[in-house]
Amino acid sequence: MQGTDRHLATEHWLLSTLDGPHRDRARLEWQEHGVALLPLGGLFSAVRLPGRLVEAAVGRPFASAEVDAFLAESLHGCPVIYDPHGQRYYALVPATKPVTWKKAVDDWRVVDVDCLGRGTYLGVPRVTVTRLEAQARVSYWSVPIASAALMCAPLTVARLIAAGRHRMPEEPETWRRRRPRRWALCDHDESASEAP
Protein backbone atom coordinates (compact mmCIF):
# COMPACT_ATOMS: atom_id res chain seq x y z
CA MET A 1 0.00 0.00 0.00
CA GLN A 2 1.37 3.44 -0.97
CA GLY A 3 2.11 6.05 1.73
CA THR A 4 -0.87 8.25 0.86
CA ASP A 5 -3.25 5.29 0.72
CA ARG A 6 -1.94 4.03 4.07
CA HIS A 7 -2.40 7.50 5.61
CA LEU A 8 -5.98 7.66 4.32
CA ALA A 9 -6.76 4.15 5.61
CA THR A 10 -5.26 4.98 9.02
CA GLU A 11 -7.12 8.30 9.17
CA HIS A 12 -10.37 6.53 8.32
CA TRP A 13 -9.72 3.96 11.06
CA LEU A 14 -9.01 6.69 13.64
CA LEU A 15 -12.16 8.56 12.62
CA SER A 16 -14.23 5.40 13.04
CA THR A 17 -14.09 6.13 16.79
CA LEU A 18 -16.68 8.84 16.04
CA ASP A 19 -20.15 8.85 14.53
CA GLY A 20 -20.80 10.54 11.15
CA PRO A 21 -21.29 14.23 12.09
CA HIS A 22 -18.41 14.14 14.56
CA ARG A 23 -16.08 12.73 11.89
CA ASP A 24 -16.55 15.89 9.83
CA ARG A 25 -15.74 18.00 12.89
CA ALA A 26 -12.58 15.97 13.55
CA ARG A 27 -11.46 16.36 9.91
CA LEU A 28 -11.97 20.12 10.24
CA GLU A 29 -9.97 20.15 13.52
CA TRP A 30 -7.12 18.29 11.79
CA GLN A 31 -7.21 20.75 8.90
CA GLU A 32 -7.38 23.91 11.05
CA HIS A 33 -5.44 22.92 14.18
CA GLY A 34 -3.45 19.81 13.24
CA VAL A 35 -5.03 17.86 16.10
CA ALA A 36 -8.51 16.45 16.77
CA LEU A 37 -10.11 15.14 19.94
CA LEU A 38 -10.94 11.44 19.62
CA PRO A 39 -12.61 9.23 22.22
CA LEU A 40 -10.61 6.46 23.82
CA GLY A 41 -11.73 3.02 24.96
CA GLY A 42 -13.50 1.87 21.80
CA LEU A 43 -10.79 0.96 19.28
CA PHE A 44 -7.79 1.89 21.37
CA SER A 45 -6.74 3.36 24.69
CA ALA A 46 -3.63 5.31 25.69
CA VAL A 47 -1.04 5.17 28.43
CA ARG A 48 -0.01 8.69 29.48
CA LEU A 49 3.73 8.88 30.09
CA PRO A 50 5.10 12.09 31.58
CA GLY A 51 8.03 13.51 29.64
CA ARG A 52 10.21 13.42 32.71
CA LEU A 53 9.75 9.64 33.03
CA VAL A 54 10.55 9.11 29.34
CA GLU A 55 13.52 11.48 29.64
CA ALA A 56 14.81 9.39 32.56
CA ALA A 57 14.45 6.17 30.55
CA VAL A 58 16.22 7.66 27.54
CA GLY A 59 18.67 10.06 29.12
CA ARG A 60 17.71 12.74 26.56
CA PRO A 61 15.64 15.97 26.69
CA PHE A 62 11.95 16.16 25.79
CA ALA A 63 10.73 15.94 22.19
CA SER A 64 14.08 15.29 20.60
CA ALA A 65 14.76 13.07 17.62
CA GLU A 66 16.79 10.80 19.93
CA VAL A 67 13.76 10.30 22.21
CA ASP A 68 11.53 9.54 19.22
CA ALA A 69 14.07 6.98 17.91
CA PHE A 70 14.39 5.43 21.38
CA LEU A 71 10.61 5.09 21.71
CA ALA A 72 10.31 3.62 18.21
CA GLU A 73 12.92 0.98 19.09
CA SER A 74 11.67 0.30 22.64
CA LEU A 75 8.01 0.01 21.60
CA HIS A 76 8.75 -1.90 18.38
CA GLY A 77 7.54 0.86 16.07
CA CYS A 78 4.11 1.09 17.66
CA PRO A 79 2.35 4.48 17.84
CA VAL A 80 3.18 7.20 20.35
CA ILE A 81 1.88 10.79 20.42
CA TYR A 82 3.84 13.63 22.02
CA ASP A 83 2.07 16.68 23.48
CA PRO A 84 4.56 19.56 23.81
CA HIS A 85 2.22 21.66 25.98
CA GLY A 86 1.83 19.06 28.70
CA GLN A 87 5.23 17.48 28.01
CA ARG A 88 3.61 14.06 27.89
CA TYR A 89 3.79 11.05 25.64
CA TYR A 90 0.78 8.84 24.89
CA ALA A 91 1.48 5.23 23.91
CA LEU A 92 -1.53 3.83 22.09
CA VAL A 93 -2.52 0.41 23.40
CA PRO A 94 -5.41 -1.98 22.72
CA ALA A 95 -8.74 -0.82 24.14
CA THR A 96 -8.77 -3.74 26.55
CA LYS A 97 -5.74 -4.04 28.78
CA PRO A 98 -4.67 -6.96 30.96
CA VAL A 99 -6.54 -7.31 34.26
CA THR A 100 -3.19 -7.30 36.06
CA TRP A 101 -2.69 -3.66 35.04
CA LYS A 102 -5.12 -2.36 37.70
CA LYS A 103 -2.59 -2.62 40.53
CA ALA A 104 0.31 -1.52 38.31
CA VAL A 105 -1.57 1.58 37.16
CA ASP A 106 -2.36 2.47 40.78
CA ASP A 107 1.36 2.22 41.56
CA TRP A 108 2.34 4.24 38.47
CA ARG A 109 0.08 7.18 39.32
CA VAL A 110 2.67 8.43 41.82
CA VAL A 111 4.81 9.37 38.78
CA ASP A 112 1.81 10.70 36.79
CA VAL A 113 1.43 7.63 34.53
CA ASP A 114 -2.17 6.78 33.79
CA CYS A 115 -4.21 4.48 31.58
CA LEU A 116 -6.80 6.44 29.65
CA GLY A 117 -9.87 4.73 28.27
CA ARG A 118 -13.64 5.16 28.10
CA GLY A 119 -14.87 8.65 28.98
CA THR A 120 -11.53 10.20 27.99
CA TYR A 121 -10.59 12.08 24.84
CA LEU A 122 -7.11 12.40 23.39
CA GLY A 123 -5.75 15.10 21.11
CA VAL A 124 -4.69 13.01 18.11
CA PRO A 125 -2.56 14.67 15.42
CA ARG A 126 -3.09 14.21 11.70
CA VAL A 127 -1.29 11.05 10.61
CA THR A 128 1.15 13.13 8.55
CA VAL A 129 2.34 15.25 11.52
CA THR A 130 5.44 13.31 12.51
CA ARG A 131 7.71 15.98 13.99
CA LEU A 132 7.49 18.95 16.29
CA GLU A 133 6.64 22.16 14.45
CA ALA A 134 8.43 24.95 16.33
CA GLN A 135 5.85 27.65 15.52
CA ALA A 136 2.68 25.59 15.96
CA ARG A 137 3.78 23.49 18.98
CA VAL A 138 0.93 21.01 18.46
CA SER A 139 0.97 17.32 19.28
CA TYR A 140 2.75 15.10 16.79
CA TRP A 141 3.40 11.40 16.22
CA SER A 142 6.63 10.75 18.10
CA VAL A 143 6.38 7.23 16.67
CA PRO A 144 4.10 7.40 13.61
CA ILE A 145 1.12 5.10 13.43
CA ALA A 146 2.21 2.57 10.81
CA SER A 147 -1.18 1.01 10.17
CA ALA A 148 -4.64 0.79 11.62
CA ALA A 149 -5.01 -1.33 14.74
CA LEU A 150 -1.25 -1.85 15.29
CA MET A 151 -0.96 -0.84 18.95
CA CYS A 152 1.78 -0.97 21.59
CA ALA A 153 1.97 -4.19 23.58
CA PRO A 154 1.00 -3.45 27.21
CA LEU A 155 3.94 -5.47 28.57
CA THR A 156 6.39 -3.47 26.44
CA VAL A 157 4.93 -0.19 27.72
CA ALA A 158 5.14 -1.52 31.31
CA ARG A 159 8.85 -2.29 30.80
CA LEU A 160 9.47 1.24 29.54
CA ILE A 161 7.69 2.67 32.60
CA ALA A 162 9.73 0.46 34.93
CA ALA A 163 13.01 1.54 33.28
CA GLY A 164 12.11 5.24 33.50
CA ARG A 165 10.91 4.99 37.06
CA HIS A 166 14.10 3.17 38.09
CA ARG A 167 16.26 5.93 36.58
CA MET A 168 14.33 8.95 37.84
CA PRO A 169 16.80 11.20 39.69
CA GLU A 170 14.56 12.24 42.59
CA GLU A 171 11.66 11.07 44.66
CA PRO A 172 8.37 10.94 42.70
CA GLU A 173 6.54 12.98 45.37
CA THR A 174 8.94 15.91 44.86
CA TRP A 175 8.65 15.71 41.09
CA ARG A 176 4.84 15.37 41.13
CA ARG A 177 4.51 18.81 42.74
CA ARG A 178 6.44 20.33 39.82
CA ARG A 179 4.67 18.57 36.97
CA PRO A 180 3.14 20.68 34.18
CA ARG A 181 -0.55 21.42 34.47
CA ARG A 182 -2.99 19.39 32.49
CA TRP A 183 -3.88 20.86 29.13
CA ALA A 184 -7.38 20.67 27.71
CA LEU A 185 -6.42 19.25 24.30
CA CYS A 186 -4.47 16.37 25.81
CA ASP A 187 -6.93 14.32 27.75
CA HIS A 188 -10.00 15.04 29.75
CA ASP A 189 -13.21 13.59 31.01
CA GLU A 190 -16.32 14.66 29.14
CA SER A 191 -17.63 16.32 32.30
CA ALA A 192 -14.41 18.24 32.98
CA SER A 193 -14.11 21.84 31.93
CA GLU A 194 -10.43 22.71 31.98
CA ALA A 195 -9.09 25.80 30.31
CA PRO A 196 -5.59 25.99 28.87
Predicted pLDDT at 20? 85
Taking the model in full, what pTM does it have?
0.83
Highest mean pLDDT among 97-101, 124-128, 137-141, 185-189: 124-128
Predicted pLDDT at 134? 73
Tell me the mean pLDDT in the region 35-46. Answer: 94
Q: Are 85 and 185 in contact (CB under 8 A)?
A: yes
> Which amino acid is it at 103?
K
Q: CA-CA distances (angstroms) from residue 44 to 108, 124, 149?
A: 20, 12, 8
Of the pLDDT bands very low, low, confident and very high (cuts 50, 70, 90), residue 184 is very low
Lowest mean pLDDT among 11-20, 74-83, 85-94, 96-105: 96-105
Q: What is the dihedral of CA 122, 192, 54, 150, to 10 degrees?
A: -20
> Residue 139 above 90 pLDDT?
yes
Looking at every residue in the chain, the average pLDDT score rounds to 82
Predicted pLDDT at 1? 52
Going by C-alpha positions, the residue among 195, 192, 182 that lies closest to residue 88 is 182
- What percent of the chain stands above pLDDT 70? 81
Angle, nearest 10°, between helix axes 65-74 and 154-167?
A: 130
Of the pLDDT bands very low, low, confident and very high (cuts 50, 70, 90), residue 96 is confident
Of the pLDDT bands very low, low, confident and very high (cuts 50, 70, 90), residue 7 is confident
